[in-house]
Chains A and B, each alone.
Chain A
Amino acid sequence: MNIFRLTGDLSHLAAIIILLLKIWKTRSCAGISGKSQILFALVFTTRYLDLFSSFISLYNTVMKVIYIMCAYATVYLIYGKFKATYDGNHDTFRVEFLLIPVVLLAVLINHAFAPMEILWTFSIYLESVAILPQLFMISKTGEAETITTHYLFFLGLYRTLYLFNWIWRFYFEGFFDLIAVVAGLVQTILYCDFFYLYITKVLKGKKLSLPA
């Protein structure tokens, strides 16, 4: 464990909690892409199947359980409890355009052609593009609630910190995983436009509104 991975995980946890609290407190999922949340739930499900088969540490197990529970709770709130506030008209990204290439890539480019390995690879590739429906929805509505931008900021920050974690692990532990690094780079690059808007607008107290 290193400081980048720890702060990365805490940033990820913060994002997940912020989103859950936003929906719960405001009793509304306006501006939130349910499709992205379903993809994240799928990412955690396919990545944490080893939850019961291999014990790495209490931290690892506890965080995985929290991530999975929060992901499904968020999906339930969006499509169940507060579905009346779900903005389906703007959450129209065709996720099959993500799932099909990700499945093909996971089958073609992986470290081992074994079920657990392919599922892990699928989850890594899927996570790198899972935010696209959310970013697409914001571009369609032309704006985002400030709390939603904080959610996105911490979510984008987490994988950015993981990139530093991988540099650290390569340098100090001689450890390197090209699949995770490339997918992490793609994931972080997708946030660059948002990071720019967040830093130049939201941090200056303005509302995030895209030039329509």
Chain B
Amino acid sequence: QGRTKLKDEL
């Protein structure tokens, strides 16, 4: 789940 949060970064 932490992974998808990173995906909000450019």
Contact = CB atoms under 8 A, between A and B. Distances in A.
Contact-size category for A: 20 to 34
Contact of B2 (A63, A64, A117, A177): A177
B5 to A, nearest CB: 5
B10 A60 contact: yes
B10 A12 contact: yes
B6 A173 contact: no
A106 B5 CA distance: 20
A165 B3 CA distance: 16
A57 interface: yes
B8 to A, nearest CB: 5
B6 to A, nearest CB: 5
B5 A64 contact: no
Contacts of B7: 50, 54, 56, 120
A151 interface: no
A111 interface: yes
A67 B10 CA distance: 9
Interface of A: 5, 9, 12, 50, 54, 56-57, 60, 63-64, 67, 111-112, 117, 120, 162, 165, 169, 173, 175-177, 180
9 contacts: A5-B9, A50-B7, A54-B7, A111-B3, A112-B3, A162-B9, A175-B2, A177-B2, A180-B6
